[in-house]
């Protein structure tokens, strides 16, 4: 056929071809990669869904990678490498936590950066659908308790020997927030007030456990029968187990269902009772409250971090810019938490 | 002096184009980002309308709290932050709490007026709708 010579392969084609090479080294009978689609990602990390064509039919998979193999830059100090993330997920699976199974971890020879390939699971993870879909009504009734049981298993996971898992006790988390706030150099009186409160009410130390770090509505893949997988382990660390419960309860993850404290779908007593029944160390509600305040501070700063990455030019898209304007949501939540009886209201002075 | 249309009208025109004409043509992530863009332009319009009065009110409250004039809002907020950090003023201070509620509600009236925490706060502080919106 006459005509111009073919264009050099565009990045998606090159990615697909390297991915196929990587698959063929590990999966006998793999002969194609189809429907490669980017699901999400920022400058330092990408997630793709695709189908591997194999002799036994199509195999739906997910690639999670850092293209340059560079360490990820989570705003709140995510330092876990993708290799260690894969290790944590495997250990959590061994402890009975529902997770997507990891097929293999990338190696330098794959030319794909660092990361791993896991199975794609069908299910719903969109928070608003989880909160409103008729077909999930029964799931919602038991979801707070199910989260309690899953969290108990996460917190019982043996993570000895995973060197990259950092220990972040509550006082260190607060200190990091202070540093981050100072680094932004934008005055935030509400956050200052919350930090003072957190410092003055530090929880007493308890034995540390694995903490998922982002356990919330949005990182749960569900079906009508229950939770199929806990996703996104990149913020996993070792710390106070109540941190995961406080994060799950933060209003920003209730997606409008303010009165259902647990993820917008359930109530705290159900979460705590199931957690304890499944072997979790009892957690008093005021400890959850402390971590809910910490969550508000962290997410305020998380929003600012993403907006700062946009402003600095490292991650230029309108979503990143817009998220800077969601910091104020967390500030109003912090005020609700810190000042339950505002001046001039029935309950206030 | 520039000719009409004025800035809010121009932004509104772009917002309408994105929402009515472009969005239905788009798919996937591009569609999502276009949806975000429509929301951002709505936010810009709200800020153009609300910010001058909101900042004047914030400045006035800050001056009251700090006991001196606040010519520069950023500087005044920095001073308030310092006082909170050094525990010179805190949750026990009713005027501080009132100021922070009002300031945050004013920010949300621009950023995210339908956020659940914002609606709940307005209900608590003003006994219903209205208020900062």
The predicted complex's ipTM stands at: 0.92
Beta bridge partners of A221: A229
Inspect the interface and report whether the beta carbons of B81 and A345 lie closer than 8 Å.
no
* Angle at which helices B28-66 and B73-85 cross, to 10°: 80
| Superfamily covering domain A12-119 | Phosphorylase Kinase; domain 1 (3.30.200.20)
What is the CATH class of A127-337? alpha beta
* pLDDT mean for each 10 residues of chain A (349 residues): 43 87 92 88 76 93 80 58 94 97 94 93 94 95 98 97 93 96 94 98 97 96 96 94 98 93 97 98 98 97 86 82 93 96 67
Q: Is B129 exposed, middle or buried (0-12, 13-18, 19+ CB in 10 A)?
A: exposed
Which residues fall within 8 angstroms of residue A250, CB to CB, at 6 or more apart? Answer: A216, A292, A295, A296, A299, A333
Rounded CA gap, A99 and A223, in Å?
Answer: 14
Determine the distance in angstroms separating the CA of A163 from the nearest CA of chain B, rounded to an integer.
Answer: 35
Task: Please tell me the predicted confidence (pLDDT) of residue A5.
Answer: 42
Any chain A CB within 8 A of the CB of B126?
no
pLDDT at A9: 42
Q: Cβ–Cβ of A342/B107 closer than 8 Å?
A: no
What is the per-residue pLDDT across B9-20, written as a single tens digit (0 to 9) for each? 999 999 999 999
Question: CA-CA distances (angstroms) from residue B44 to A61, A97, B8, B22, B73?
Answer: 40, 44, 9, 19, 20
Percentage, residues of chain A above pLDDT 90: 77
Domain ranges for chain A, please list them: 12-119, 127-337
- Going residue by residue through chain B, which has 133 residues, state the pLDDT in tens, using 9 for 90 and above: 999 999 999 999 999 999 999 999 999 889 999 999 999 999 999 999 999 999 999 999 999 999 999 999 999 999 999 999 999 999 999 999 999 999 999 999 999 999 888 888 888 887 644 443 3
* 3-state SS assignment for residue A162: coil
CA of A285: how far to CAs of A100, A168, A217, A241, A298, in Å?
Answer: 31, 21, 20, 13, 20
- From the number of C-beta atoms within 10 Å of its C-beta (0-12, 13-18, 19+), residue B10 rates as exposed
| Parent domain of B22 | 7-126
Examine residue B26 and state whether it is found in any structural domain, yes or no. Answer: yes
Residues of chain B neighbouring A36 (CB-CB closer than 8 A): none
How far is it between the farthest Cα atoms of chain B?
56
Residues of chain B contacting A329 with CB distance shorter than 8 Å:
108, 111-112, 115, 117-118
Q: What is the pTM of this model?
A: 0.90
B19 belongs to a structural domain: yes
Give the one of A189, A318, A329 whose C-beta lies nearest to B77's C-beta.
Answer: A189
- Which contacts of A194-199 are long-range, i.e. CB under 8 A and separated by 24 or more positions? A194/A293, A194/A296, A194/A297, A194/A334, A194/A337, A194/A338, A195/A297, A195/B85, A196/B84, A196/B85, A196/B87, A196/B90, A197/A293, A197/A338, A197/B91, A198/A170, A198/A174, A198/A290, A198/A293, A198/A294, A198/A297, A199/A174
The answer to whether residue B39 is domain-embedded is yes
Neighbours of A201 (CB within 10 A): 12
CB–CB of B97 and A345 under 8 A?
Answer: no
How far is Cα B33 from Cα B45, in angstroms, rounded to an integer? 18
Q: Is residue B2, in this structure, part of any structural domain at all?
A: no
**Residue A78: what pLDDT?**
60
Q: How many CB atoms lie within 10 A of CB B127?
A: 12
Establish if B118 touches chain A: CB-CB under 8 angstroms: yes
| B112 found inside a domain | yes
Number of domains in chain B: 1
Closest approach of A327 to chain B, Cα-based (Å): 9
> Residue A154: its pLDDT value, please?
98
What integer pLDDT is reported at residue A4 of this predicted model? 43
Q: Say yes or no for a CB contact (<8 Å) between A332 and B77.
A: no
């Amino acid at each position: 056929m006459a005509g111009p010579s073919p264009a050099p392969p565009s990045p998606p084609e090159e990615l697909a071809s390297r991915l196929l090479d990587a698959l063929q080294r590990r999966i006998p009978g793999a002969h194609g990669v189809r429907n490669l689609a980017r699901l999400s990602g920022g400058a330092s990390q990408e997630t793709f869904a695709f189908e591997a064509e194999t002799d036994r039919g199509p195999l739906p998979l997910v690639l999670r990678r850092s293209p340059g193999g560079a360490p990820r830059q989570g705003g709140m100090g995510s330092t876990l490498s993708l290799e260690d993330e894969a290790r944590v997920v495997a250990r959590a699976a061994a402890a009975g936590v529902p997770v997507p199974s990891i097929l293999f971890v990338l190696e330098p020879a794959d030319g794909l950066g660092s990361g791993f390939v896991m199975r794609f699971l069908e299910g719903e993870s969109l928070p608003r659908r989880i909160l409103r879909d008729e077909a999930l009504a029964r799931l919602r009734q038991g979801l707070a308790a199910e989260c309690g049981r899953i969290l108990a298993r996460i917190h019982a996971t043996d993570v000895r020997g995973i060197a990259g898992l950092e220990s972040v006790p509550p006082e260190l988390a607060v200190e990091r927030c202070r540093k981050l706030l100072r680094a932004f150099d934008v005055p935030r009186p509400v956050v200052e007030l919350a930090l003072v409160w957190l410092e003055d009410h530090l929880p007493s130390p308890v034995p540390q456990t694995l903490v998922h770090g982002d356990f919330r509505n949005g990182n749960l893949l569900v079906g009508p029968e229950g939770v199929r997988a806990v996703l996104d382990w990149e913020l996993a660390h070792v710390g106070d187990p109540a941190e995961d419960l406080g994060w799950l309860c933060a209003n920003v993850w209730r997606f409008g269902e303010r009165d259902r404290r647990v993820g917008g779908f359930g109530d705290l007593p159900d979460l705590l009772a199931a957690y304890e029944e499944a072997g979790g160390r009892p957690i008093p509600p005021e400890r959850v409250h402390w971590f809910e305040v910490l969550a508000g501070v962290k997410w305020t700063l998380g929003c600012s971090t993403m907006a700062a990455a946009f402003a600095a030019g490292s991650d230029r898209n309108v979503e990143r810019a817009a998220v800077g304007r969601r910091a104020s949501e967390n500030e109003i939540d912090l005020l609700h938490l810190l000042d339950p009886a505002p001046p001039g209201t029935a309950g206030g002075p | 002096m520039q000719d009409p249309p004025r800035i809010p009208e121009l932004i509104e025109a772009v917002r309408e184009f994105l929402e009515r004409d472009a969005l239905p043509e788009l798919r996937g992530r591009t569609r999502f980002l276009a949806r975000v863009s429509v929301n951002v332009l709505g936010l810009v319009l709200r800020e153009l309308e609300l910010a001058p009065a909101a900042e004047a009110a914030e400045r006035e409250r800050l001056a009251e709290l700090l006991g001196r004039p606040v010519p520069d809002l950023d500087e005044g907020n920095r001073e308030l932050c310092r006082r909170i950090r050094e525990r010179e003023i805190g949750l026990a201070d009713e005027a501080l709490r009132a100021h922070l509620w009002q300031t945050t509600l004013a920010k949300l009236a621009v950023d995210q007026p339908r956020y659940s925490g914002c609606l709940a706060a307005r209900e608590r502080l003003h006994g219903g709708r209205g208020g900062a919106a």
